[in-house]
Amino acid sequence: MFDLHCHLLPGVDDGADCTATALALARVAVADGTTHAVLTPHIHPGRYENSLSRLTPVFDRFRESLAGAFAGETSGLQVALGAEVRLTDELPVLLEQGEIPFVGEWEGAQVLLLELPHSHIPPGTDRLIQWLARQGIRPLIAHPERNRDVLRDLARLRPLVKAGCLFQVTATAVAGDFGPGAEKRARQLLENNLVTVLASDAHHLERRPPGLSRGRDAAAAIIGDDRARELVVDNPRRLTASRFARSGLESPV
């Protein structure tokens, strides 16, 4: 499986706090069936002052640690660097400076994992998405099923759907770990064929561990095995084809 949203990169946000924890999370992910992961630390000016230039050396060191930890083993975790980018006024500037890592490509556009505020969908979000489209960028909206506006009214997503956004649902939300409201919305998004990928959004070994297979199985009970596989293998593999070596794309699931 391919995980396009996880916080394994150590010491840069509210995810793994050190390399040892990050490696332990990687082992849990591999044991769960994940073969490829795009590491997506938060970029949130004023809270997590991350950028491509700051994250790249951290990623390079962690990739070396990961290779050493799995050396001689038949399975491992291939990783690429992305980011979960908060919708803020600073976003256009960071993009113009080339400081935003993308998670992949979709239909010729760069894909940005975009996090809305948890409390609401800000006015003007659809205009920002239109501006991104003119820059050749397509948003993949992170965990819409947990946004409070969406929890109150699923129709609040309609302008984002119309604007061409992709949607990433948290795997364990489908399995009920984020409460009945998020589970209901995740189910509705699946039933309406609005989900592009399921991802773990893993942060911690205990509170938010990797659990992509649980989400896949929960989704399969709603939309069937083939469509559930599309969300954890086919679609994310297509989206990240430019990020992983061809040999890696042939890894078993």
CB 56: neighbour CB atoms within 10 A?
12
Domains defined along the chain, listed by start: 2-243 (3.20.20.140)
Assess contact for 121 and 147: CB atoms under 8 A. Answer: yes
pLDDT digits (tens, 9 = 90+) for 132-181: 999 999 999 999 999 999 999 999 999 999 999 999 999 999 999 999 99
Find where tokens 């820059």 sit: 135
pLDDT digits (tens, 9 = 90+) for 50-81: 999 999 999 999 999 999 999 988 789 999 99
pLDDT digits (tens, 9 = 90+) for 80-97: 999 999 999 999 999 999
- Picking from 103, 91, 18, 3, the residue whose alpha carbon sits closest to that of residue 50 is 91
pLDDT band at 253 (very low <50, low <70, confident <90, very high): very low
Percentage of the chain lying above the pLDDT 70 cut: 96
H or E stretch including 170? strand 166-170
Distance set, CA 16 to CA 8, 70, 147, 245, 252 (Å): 5, 18, 23, 26, 27
Classify 39 as helix, strand or coil.
strand
CB 176: neighbour CB atoms within 10 A?
15
**Over residues 228-232, mean pLDDT:** 98
Residue 9 CA to residue 38 CA, distance in Å, equals 10
pLDDT band at 213 (very low <50, low <70, confident <90, very high): very high
**Over residues 193-210, mean pLDDT:** 96
Does the pLDDT value for residue 115 go beyond 60?
yes
pLDDT digits (tens, 9 = 90+) for 3-39: 999 999 999 999 999 999 999 999 999 999 999 999 9
